[in-house]
């Protein structure tokens, strides 16, 4: 504790240092601006844009999982339909090639 107590000479030096430090002049309407910033900080957050809302929705695990599942199911369904059509077409071409040579078509 003894070490923490200032020596009278130190106090003097401190006072001199405080005096030597130039106090900068505050910008105009400093106080008003400080209060405005405090009010802004305390005000409720502004509404997010539709893009932010959509991004937040996409990042929700439940939504992401549902969307991925829907996409997989849609892809499988449409792929199977197209594959069936393609398989039918290939089978038809196969039959046609066996009974009707290209030179006759």
Residues found near another protein in the complex (CB under 8 A): 49, 51-52, 54-55, 58-59, 64, 67-68, 71-80, 82-84, 86-88, 90-92, 94-96, 98-101, 103-105
Q: Which is nearer to another protein, 5 or 49 (CB)?
A: 49
Q: 35 by DSSP, 3-state: which?
A: helix
Q: Which is nearer to another protein, 15 or 96 (CB)?
A: 96
Q: How far is CA 61 from the centre of its chain?
A: 14
Q: How far apart are CA 77 and CA 82, in angstroms?
A: 9
Q: Let me know: does 14 contact 6? Beta carbons within 8 Å.
A: yes
Q: Which is nearer to another protein, 6 or 68 (CB)?
A: 68
Residue 104 beta carbon to another protein: minimum distance, rounded to whole angstroms: 6
């Amino acid at each position: 504790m003894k070490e923490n107590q200032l020596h009278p000479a130190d106090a003097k030096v401190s006072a001199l240092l405080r005096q030597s430090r130039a106090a900068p002049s505050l910008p105009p309407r400093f106080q008003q601006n400080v209060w405005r910033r405090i009010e802004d900080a305390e005000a409720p957050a502004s509404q997010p844009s539709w893009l932010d809302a959509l991004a937040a929705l996409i990042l929700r695990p439940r939504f992401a999982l549902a969307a991925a599942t829907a996409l997989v199911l849609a892809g499988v369904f449409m792929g199977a339909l197209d594959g069936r059509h393609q398989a039918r077409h290939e089978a038809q071409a196969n039959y046609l090639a066996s009974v009707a040579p290209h030179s006759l078509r």
